[in-house]
Amino acid sequence: MNNNRKIDYIKAFGENLRALRNSKKVSMEKLALAAGIEYSQIFDIEHGKINTTISTIHLIATALEIPEKDLFDFTF
């Protein structure tokens, strides 16, 4: 995957996370607290600023009470 596609994928992942979080009516602050991670990390993921780890994805999915695969259910 070239660098531009990688960046697009990371941004699409973040947008999907934001949509899922909003559909659950959970703020970034509440998600961060429930997942045991920093608010700034949620912010950076949702804004496509960082390529997060699989363990963080697991924490986020658990906090949102969704399967991890739902976080990857998007097109870019």
Question: Tokens 């700034």 label which residue?
Answer: 40
pLDDT at 49: 97
The reply to whether CATH 1.10.260.40 applies to domain 3-71 is yes
- pTM equals 0.95
- Taking only the tens of pLDDT, the chain with its 76 residues reads 789 999 999 999 999 999 999 999 999 999 999 999 999 999 999 999 999 999 999 999 999 999 999 999 999 8
Give the pLDDT score at 1: 76
Q: How many Cα atoms sit within 13 Å of 61 on the Cβ side?
A: 16
CB 60 within 8 A of CB 28: no
Give the pLDDT of residue 76.
84
Q: Give which of 22, 28, 30, 59 is closest to 44, Cα–Cα.
A: 28
